[in-house]
Amino acid sequence: MNAPIKTALLSFGMSGKIFHAPFIDAHPGYMLAGAWERSKKQIQQIYPYTKSYPTLEELLADDIDLVIVNTPNDTHYAYTRQALLAGKNVLLEKPITVTTEEAKALKALALEQHKIICPYQNRRYNSDYLTTKRVIESGVLGKIVEAELRFDRFAPHLSLKAHKETGKPGTGVLYDLGSHLIDQALQLFGKPEALFADIAVTRTGSAIDDYFELLLYYPHCRVRLKSGYFVREPLPGYIVFGTAGSFLKSKADVQENHLIEGLKPTMPNWGIEPVNEQGLLHTVIDGKIVREHVPTEKGDYMGYFEALYQALVHQQPLPVIIDESTAVIDIIENAFESNRKGCKVLIS
């Protein structure tokens, strides 16, 4: 029997408490060793058997197999580099780095160190996305000609998390929520030929972009990605039009809310959306017009951690590879260029 993968977090804020520790703690193939806590010492209150590391150096000197880099975006490159040089595998939060140059440098270093970097794109395991993916791949919509993916919030006031509002490299809604939408678009439709971007600041006093619209150009398809902070009434998170029909799906994955409420991923019916959030399919099947709600896939972030475990222990494919997340950063860089120039830019 393989020993558990000793895992440590570089932060125990919301990301560590909500999106990582509950899954590491629940999965029998991992052992939650502790977290680097700079001021507040909280991890032992929830997980008494863990260690609170006062410095990064002490954490990296410990017998740790996997380091979760879930710190502010502009620190990802430096901390991942330190972890790799210390001989650790790395789970790296999105956006993996601020620039593609940094991402490529980390990939090269990981290869030199014979270690892995696995980007954390957990929204691939959302029920709403998985359902949309299933419908598209089933072919019932025919050839896809247009799609819109949204990730909105109603957050008119500046965040209390100072690092999110400072305007440092890697901050703003395009790096934050955009990283999820771009990753999903690339998974569903592949690499676009070109893009046009409109990126703006809409909140009073904001130092970061809090609105964007990206138009991705494909040979026979257009895909829009949108996000804003003044969307009080939710719109469908996924709108897909094909030559045979349409599909609309709300952004209704329940996992984040359940985690915030303190529920555990081992609970019965984890990741099951309410029936009233089912997507609407309007198409033609076997010559008959069909307009009906379709069953929703189960959301399961644990699927990511299980796939990562299988990759580390049994050399199975990683759930996310660094090239895929580097492509996300490339789209973000091109989007800012498009916004500055006010024109469409080609994707090389």
Region 11-35: what's the mean pLDDT?
Answer: 97
Closest CA to 299 of 16, 23, 6: 23
pLDDT digits (tens, 9 = 90+) for 245-297: 999 999 999 999 999 999 999 999 999 999 999 999 999 999 999 999 999 99
Q: Is 42 exposed, middle or buried (0-12, 13-18, 19+ CB in 10 A)?
A: middle
Element (H, E) at 127: helix 127-138
The edge-to-edge listing of strands for the beta sheet with 238-242 is 288-294, 279-285, 246-249, 238-242, 144-150, 221-228, 211-218, 194-200, 345-346
Residue for token pair 């990582």: 20
pLDDT in tens, 147-205: 999 999 999 999 877 777 888 899 999 999 999 999 999 999 999 999 999 999 999 99
CB 316 within 8 A of CB 275: no
Q: Which domains does the chain have, with CATH numbers?
A: 5-120 (3.40.50.720), 123-299+330-346 (3.30.360.10)
Q: pTM of the prediction? A: 0.96
CA-nearest of 42, 83, 48 to 66 is 83
Question: Span 109-119, mean pLDDT?
Answer: 98
Mean pLDDT of 24-37: 98
Token pair in block for residue 306: 């299980």
Q: Residue 316: pLDDT above 80? A: yes
239 - beta bridge partners? 148, 248
Task: Determine the pLDDT at residue 135.
Answer: 98
Q: In the structure, what pLDDT confidence band is assigned to residue 1 with cuts at 50, 70 and 90?
A: low
pLDDT of 309 above 80: yes
Share of the chain above pLDDT 70, in %: 100
Q: How confident is the model at residue 304 (pLDDT cuts 50, 70, 90)?
A: very high
Residues whose CB falls within 8 Å of the CB of residue 300, separated by 6 or more in sequence, listed in order: 125, 255, 265, 270, 271
Residue pair 190/173 in contact by the 8 Å Cβ criterion: no
* Residue 163: predicted pLDDT: 73
Q: How far apart are CA 71 and CA 112, in angstroms?
A: 24
Average pLDDT of the chain, as a whole number: 96
**pLDDT for the residue 195:** 98
What pLDDT is stored for residue 68 in this prediction?
98
The pLDDT value given to residue 165: 81
Give the pLDDT confidence of 38-92 residue by residue, as tens digits: 988 999 999 999 999 999 999 999 999 999 999 999 999 999 999 999 999 999 9
